[in-house]
Structure 1
Amino acid sequence: MTSVTPRAPVGRAPVAFSTAGLPDHERVELWESHNAEALIGLRCRTLTAAVLEAAEVNVQLDRVHLARVRGTAHVVERDEELVRRRPAESVALFFSLVGEAFFYHDDGVRTLQPGQMLMCDADRPFMRGFSRGLEELVVKVPRDVFAEVTGIEEVRQPLVVGFAAEGANSFAHTLARQVGAATRDDDPSPVDEGTLLQLLGALTGSDRADLTAAHRAAAMAYVDQHLREPGLSATQIAAGVGLSTRHLSRVFAEAGTSVPRHVLQRRLEVARDLLVTPAAASMTIAEVAHHCGFTSAAHFSSAFTARYGERATDLRRRATAARTAARTAARS
């Protein structure tokens, strides 16, 4: 088994681009120019006389590029001439979030629904259309990196995989969640490139993938999604990601922890963030505990103190005092 060395979480900030505020007659040209430099070169045209409204968030990792794309109705094309002029030398994964899309390829036409991912070689000519607009996530993987991770030297035909329903393809589901978190407009989350590549290998069925790392990432994503549920258990998590409970325990044990310990740690981390967040200042300590899946405020308080060495009330008081001091300093 070939293992991909984990890399540090990305430190580069997302780069955003939007056609908003640009001259109407220049929007398509500038959108094409941006995509040619930041993502994949495409020809674009609108379906009606309506002005193109489009926006993109790009995150460049060491080897992989991530993006979130939004737009009104339009069609994009990547023909042979454009491929020759601007080769991408990459495999692209498109995760549809909003809007039905068609994908025209030399082997036929596919219709992509929200919750489906399409994977293709970006240098095989294609056309895509979004009659009602779109929002999608994109992962662009250099062809040599893709081959290293998956063992697949050439993607001859597009592959469509469902990623919305938990358990249908937990690796695609987790990959979409991580890419989505990394490309948010506000408060994007760091992402580990090694984990993304392990998930990519796992969803393609590669025997080169570190399935333990991919399973652990899928399980952790499931935990974060269901953290508020008081009854969240190892059995539920295992079923959600398609593992046996025993195997799930081994997956976490290899990382030096256990399923209950990880769930508790994540609940405490989320609670700690809430306690210092101004938007949650009106919540009582008991409400914070309940929001994070604790059934007992007393249990939450004791676990919090044991984990952080101070009471939840003291942390909130200190955070409130710091905000007050900052406002006072700003006014003076």
Structure 2
Amino acid sequence: MTHVTPAGGGGAPVAFSTAGLPEAQRIELWESHNAEALIGLRCRSMSGAALDATEVNLQVDRLHLARVRGSSHVVERDAGMVRSRPAESVALFFSLAGEAFFYHDDGVRTVQPGQMLLCDADRPFMRGFSRGLEELVLKVPRELFTEATGITDVPKPVVTGFAAGANAHAHDLARMVGAAARDEDPVPVTEQALLDLLAALTGRDHQGDLTTAHRSAAQAYIDAHLSDPSLSAAQVAAAVGLSTRHLSRVFAQVDTSVPRYVLGRRLELARRLLEKPAATSMTIAEIAHHCGFSSAAHFSHAFTTHVGERASDVRRRAVAARAVPLP
């Protein structure tokens, strides 16, 4: 029996749960999973009850995202664990539910829902969740963190509010991580978009980085929903947490608009399919539908207008190329 299940296709989030596992083995298996998938920790139950926990993990290039839910427990990363399982990373924990305490060599902090804690994952710490937890995690390799933020050392943990009305950059970063690290309908995200928001959060060139991050997030969402004929600027704006007007300004900075970008990406996808010998079994109408066009006639007109040749001609060349015998 396996308790690790992909939440989608390639590059999709992967979920792990202790549900259904033998109660006596849950903590051991939870520790083993986290050591491989996120950060090595020692875990113990606070009440003696069996640990009930789930984790959704997502790797985005060099970054690791996670959504963690669990019953009351304590986790510890001591000096021995750091030596045996170095993370070589900076970790950001976004608390969604359940008050948490955080013991560090400089004291104790309490983290409430709506607050983010940033720390060096290789400085020993203990965290406790007396009422259970739900949180988001962003793990950033230390060299990449320095490259993105200019910060070379995180000697003490930093707590920042990310709820609406608090730190806008932390709020946007939490929203982006949360939308990507979920097992149902995850929103695609790029490494650069996350790094741009991280730079904005820590104060490096935040305005330009934030605009780039929003545009990257919107483009990733569009690319994942090209087959939806009802895809609109309003839908994209809601997915990335912006107003439609602000999203329009973000795209205007690179001399385009959301509708033009969507059309361009649909036509690029259609051309790749038309030119792909393995896709010659698809009719032009099927390709049009797959790429989000409401009708084959609309697709054919748009393709000829923007590409400069008819879709049928592109398809004819692909079929001819497939028919040429190999030497």
Q: CA deviation at 1:206?
A: 1.6
Write the distance in 2 (CA, Å) between the matches of 1:233 and 1:47.
46
Q: How far did residue 141 of structure 1 move?
A: 0.4
The CA distance in 2 between the partners of 1:160 and 1:202, in whole Å, is 16
- Equivalent residue for 1:32? 31
Q: Aligned runs of 1:61-140 on 2, under 5 Å?
A: 61-140=60-139
Q: Output aligned runs, 1:160-175, within 5 Å.
A: 160-166=159-165, 168-175=166-173
Measured on the aligned residues, the alpha-carbon RMSD in Å equals: 3.1
Q: What is the correspondence of 1:193-272 to structure 2 with a 5 Å cutoff?
A: 193-207=191-205, 210-214=209-213, 216=215, 227=238, 234=245, 249=249, 251-257=250-256
CA distance in 2, matches of 1:114, 1:101: 9
Q: Partners of 2:294 and 2:60 in 1: how far apart?
A: 36
Tell me which stretches of 4 or more aligned residues in structure 1 moved more than 6 Å: 217-223
| Percentage identity across paired residues of the two chains | 66
Deviation at 1:111, TM superposition (A): 0.8
Q: CA-to-partner distance for each residue in 1:290-319, whole Å, 9 max, x for gaps?
A: xxxxxxxxxxxxxxxxx95559xxxxxxxx
TM-score after normalising by structure 2: 0.67
Counterpart residue type for residue 148 of structure 1: E
Partner amino acid for 1:154? D
Q: Deviations over 1:105-127 (max 9, x none)?
A: 11111111111111100000111
Residues of 1 paired with 2:70 and 2:200: CA distance?
31
Query: Aligned pairs, how many?
Result: 245
Contact 1:63/1:141 (8 A) holds in 2? yes
Q: Report deviation, 1:62.
A: 1.4
Gaps of 5+ in 2: 1-8, 222-232, 263-291, 297-327
Contact kept? 2:63, 2:141, Cα under 8 Å: yes
Contact 1:174–1:217 (CA under 8 A) maintained in structure 2:
no
1:277-302 C-alpha deviation (Å, 9 max, x unpaired): xxxxxxxxxxxxxxxxxxxxxxxxxx
CA contact (8 A) 1:93 1:140 kept: yes
Partner of 2:55 in structure 1?
A: 56
Contact 2:148 2:198 (C-alpha < 8 Å) held by counterparts:
yes
- TM-score normalized with structure 1 length: 0.66
Deviation at 1:210, TM superposition (A): 2.6
Contact in 2 for aligned 1:19/1:55 (Cα 8 Å):
yes
- Do the aligned partners of 1:100 and 1:114 also contact (CA within 8 Å) in 2? yes
Structure 1 residues 223 and 90, CA, compared in 2 at 3 Å: closer, same or farther?
Answer: farther
Does the 8 A contact of 1:171 with 1:218 survive in 2? Answer: no
Partner Cα distance (1:52, 1:27) in 2:
6
CA contact (8 A) 2:190 2:216 kept: no
Counterpart position of 1:45? 44
Partner SS, residue 211 of structure 2 = helix
Confirm or deny: 8 A CA contact 2:14 2:183 kept in the other structure: no
CA contact (8 A) 1:60 1:66 kept: yes
Distance 1:159 1:223, change over 3 A: farther
Contact 1:202–1:214 (8 Å) recurs in 2: no
Contact 1:175 1:200 in 2 (8 A): yes
- Measure, in 2, the Cα distance between the counterparts of 1:47 and 1:128: 12
Query: Do 2:92 and 2:117's aligned partners in 1 also have CA atoms closer than 8 Å?
Result: yes
Using a 3 Å threshold, how does the CA distance of structure 1 residues 147 and 224 change in structure 2: closer, same or farther?
farther
CA distance in 2: counterparts of 1:68 and 1:59, whole angstroms: 9
Give secondary structure in 2 for the equivalent of 1:180: helix
Provide the rounded CA distance (Å) in 2 between the counterparts of 1:76 and 1:196. 27
> What amino acid is aligned across from residue 156 of structure 1 in structure 2?
P
Do the aligned partners of residues 174 and 224 (structure 1) sit closer, same or farther apart at CA in structure 2, a change above 3 Å counting?
farther
